[in-house]
Amino acid sequence: MEKTYFWKNSTVYQIYPRSFCDSDGDGVGDIRGIISKLDYLSELGIDVIWLSPVYKSPNDDNGYDISDYKDIQPEFGTMADFDELLEGARARGIKIIMDLVINHTSDEHEWFRRALAGEEKYKNYYIIKKGKPGGKLPNNWGNFFADCPWEPFGNPENNEYYLHLFSKKQPDLNWYNPEVYNEIADIMRFWLDKGVAGFRCDVINVIFKESFADGKRRLALTGKEHYISTEGNHRILNALRRDVMDNYDAFTVGETVMIDIPMGRDLTDEDRGELDMVFAFEHMECDQIGVKWFKTRFKPRKLMKILTKWQNGIKWNSLYFENHDQPRSVTRFVKGGEHRKAGSKMLIGLLLSLRGTPYFYEGQEIGMTNGAFNSLDEIVDIESHNVNKMAKSLGILNPWRWKLIKTTSRDNARTPMQWTSGENAGFTTGKPWLKLNPNYKEINVERDLSDEDGIIAFFKKMNAYRKSSQVLLSGEFSELMSSKYVYAFERRLGDEALIAVFNFADKTKKLPEFCKGERVISNYTEPCGERLRPYEFVLYKAGGSLND
Ligand code: ISL
């Protein structure tokens, strides 16, 4: 199969189906809701939709716990709806990638049920270990969701436990077993044969555990050295590339936790042949100390340094500031509500100016902000509840626990999409599954679209420009400046160069002298003088005179 590498020129838009658009009034977004918004997505100018899981699931982790990989979650619709979505997208030149969750299944998956019923074949699909003498767990590992990663398996007398790095309803698959490999390869072919354009591969660099020995004690995720980007993991990815992906004009983007640049390079090296791109996390950790729950003041220069490091370190990056696990970028990186519009545009401008494939998360195009939750009762996310329990057991008082959760909970990004200023933001006619942000009266698609100077208008303009510019699509990156607040870089292809400059301050800042040339695009209408305005972004065509 000849590869077109279409993803190198694509802009991707992530849909979290539960929160996107509800067509039947049950308060949960669904596939027909997405179909009803295809024209909107097409007008935005996006090329690929990344669909968070729509497979059958008991929803312990909102679909990341899959009980049937070849069927659709009834509350999202039917396979016929899915086929219609795929066709409707195709007709508009939009491709769809699926979320591939293969570190674990749901404990309600048939494989796990049969394992529990005692079928050896299926027991071998999971990681089941004997407890150590004295009623001890098989090892001292930690868990991603602030839980214990071992849960008794079946009859307690057998002293067996199954491993779950995430929720206890997400048992980890045993990638030592070739049958597991074959099952997953088959699932991938099933979707690729339908015409999907690839996969976003969930926590893909932890699937192969090289050893089950105790780990070095850490604040979080003790044991991770035994499973982060192991050699066995590389072998599996390479095999899936050869056996499956090479037969389709499709791509993979790996969600790769805790990777550094050398790991990212190995995972995406074309000669090794594993993944096409990775989602690295380092830039998403620029405002935290140790673990993500301990947020510190955002220092723009730290973000700039990390972005530059990855631009220089990896041939092709995935560019993102948001997804369904992260707080909203405008709340996180932009000070004060009055700059929401300029700041949202600047962050969009930044993603679309860097080298790599840009990913946007639903609502980012209208500058949606973190959820407006008042207490834990309003939070659904399992991780947040587990963290609360754990913090409580450590004696952390409620106001502190709530502060951590309110700032960092994954539900911040999962509040329903704000379409209109009408009832329930036009998301549903029923009761939304998660509390809407009351700011939908001001922040919504309808209103933004009616504003010539809206965030969507800027997104469309900038995205269209990127697509017409070989320099932005494939030019080399070099940093020109990363000061306390001002970031600037050049993108160059042969003799042609663009200079992008960003002011991360809520005050004016001096425009660097090298920012000269034709002002191609900006988030402000009037050209700036000697000083950049708050959260100003300008793209210059190098050569020519300043602001002409
Ligand atoms: O950062 C995290 C760990 O503390 C989590 O937000 C997240 O679990 C991690 O990034 C892995 O995420 C992916 O796999 C999870 C699922 O809950 C997330 O939604 C998904 O993006 C388990 O499938």
pLDDT tens for residues 431-480? 999 999 999 999 999 999 999 999 999 999 999 999 999 999 999 999 99
Residue 21 lies in a domain: yes
Residue 236 lies in a domain: yes
Pick from 92, 99, 98, 97: which is nearest to 41 by CA? Answer: 92
Rounded to the nearest angstrom, the distance between the alpha carbon of 76 and the centre of ligand 1 is 21
Residue 64 CA: nearest ligand 1 atom is 23
pLDDT attached to residue 290: 86
Query: Phi then psi for 160, rounded to 5 degrees?
Result: -110, 145
The whole-number average pLDDT for the span 318-324 is 98
Q: Which of 425, 459, 493 is the C-terminal boundary of a domain? A: 459
The reply to whether 212 and 240 lie within a common domain is yes
Cα 189 from Cα 387, distance rounded (Å): 37
Q: DSSP 3-state assignment of 283?
A: helix
Residue 391 lies in a domain: no
The strand pairing partners of 330, in sequence order, are none
Residue 16 lies in a domain: yes
Residue 167 CA: nearest ligand 1 atom is 22
pLDDT attached to residue 547: 39
**Ligand 1 contact via 50 beta carbon (within 6 Å):** no
Domain of residue 479, CATH code: 2.60.40.1180
Residue 426 lies in a domain: no
pTM beyond 0.95: the answer is: yes
Residue 323 CA: nearest ligand 1 atom is 21
List Cβ neighbours of 122 (8 Å cut-off, separation of 6 or more).
111, 112, 114, 115
pLDDT attached to residue 74: 98
The reply to whether 338 and 253 lie within a common domain is yes
Residue 348 CA: distances (Å) to CA of 158, 342, 456: 55, 10, 10
The reply to whether 352 and 287 lie within a common domain is yes
The whole-number average pLDDT for the span 488-499 is 97
Tokens 């995972």 belong to 267
Q: Whose CA is nearest to atom 12 of ligand 1?
A: 203
Kindly list the catalytic residues: 202, 255
Rounded to the nearest angstrom, the distance between the alpha carbon of 74 and the centre of ligand 1 is 23
Q: Whose CA is nearest to atom 5 of ligand 1?
A: 325
Query: Phi then psi for 34, rounded to 5 degrees?
Result: -65, -45
Instruction: Quote the number of domains for the chain.
Output: 3
The whole-number average pLDDT for the span 174-191 is 98
Residue 116 lies in a domain: yes
**Ligand 1 contact via 257 beta carbon (within 6 Å):** yes
Q: Which of 459, 491, 524 is the C-terminal boundary of a domain? A: 459
Cα 245 from Cα 275, distance rounded (Å): 9
Domain of residue 204, CATH code: 3.20.20.80
pLDDT attached to residue 326: 98
The reply to whether 87 and 212 lie within a common domain is yes
The reply to whether 282 and 193 lie within a common domain is yes
- 337-390 pLDDT, tens per residue? 899 999 999 999 999 999 999 999 999 999 999 999 999 999 999 999 999 999
Does residue 200 have a pLDDT over 50? yes
Q: Are 532 and 547 in contact (CB under 8 A)?
A: no
- 92-130 pLDDT, tens per residue? 999 999 999 999 999 999 999 999 999 999 999 999 999
E strand spans, 101-210: 128-130, 150-152, 160-163, 198-201
**Ligand 1 contact via 96 beta carbon (within 6 Å):** no
Rounded to the nearest angstrom, the distance between the alpha carbon of 325 and the centre of ligand 1 is 6
Cα 196 from Cα 248, distance rounded (Å): 10
Cα 180 from Cα 373, distance rounded (Å): 41
Pick from 116, 125, 20: which is nearest to 69 by CA? Answer: 125
The reply to whether 34 and 146 lie within a common domain is no
Domain of residue 118, CATH code: 3.90.400.10
DSSP state of 205: G
**Ligand 1 contact via 340 beta carbon (within 6 Å):** no
Pick from 359, 313, 322, 305: which is nearest to 10 by CA? Answer: 359
Rg of the chain over Cα atoms, rounded to whole angstroms, equals: 23
The reply to whether 139 and 278 lie within a common domain is no
Tokens 């320099």 belong to 471
Q: Whose CA is nearest to atom 20 of ligand 1?
A: 202
The whole-number average pLDDT for the span 50-74 is 98
The reply to whether 115 and 94 lie within a common domain is no
Q: For Cα atoms 355, 410, 359, give the angle at the middle one, nearest 5 degrees.
A: 20
**Ligand 1 contact via 144 beta carbon (within 6 Å):** yes
In percent, how much of the chain has pLDDT > 70? 99
Residue 425: HSE in the Cβ half-sphere, 13 Å Cα cutoff: 28
The reply to whether 139 and 275 lie within a common domain is no
Name the residue range of residue 361's domain.
Answer: 6-103+179-371+438-459
Q: Are 208 and 226 in contact (CB under 8 A)?
A: no
Residue 492 lies in a domain: yes
Confidence of residue 543 (pLDDT cuts 50, 70, 90): low
Pick from 142, 201, 172, 179: which is nearest to 65 by CA? Answer: 172
The reply to whether 31 and 86 lie within a common domain is yes
pLDDT attached to residue 548: 38
The reply to whether 22 and 40 lie within a common domain is yes
Rounded to the nearest angstrom, the distance between the alpha carbon of 324 and the centre of ligand 1 is 9
Token pair for residue 210?
A: 């090289």
The whole-number average pLDDT for the span 510-533 is 95
Mean of pLDDT over the chain: 97
The reply to whether 96 and 114 lie within a common domain is no
Residue 103 CA: nearest ligand 1 atom is 23
Cα 376 from Cα 382, distance rounded (Å): 11
Cα 464 from Cα 458, distance rounded (Å): 10
In percent, how much of the chain has pLDDT > 90? 97
Q: Whose CA is nearest to atom 4 of ligand 1?
A: 144
What residue type is assigned to position 533 of the chain?
Answer: R
Q: Which of 429, 459, 489 is the C-terminal boundary of a domain? A: 459
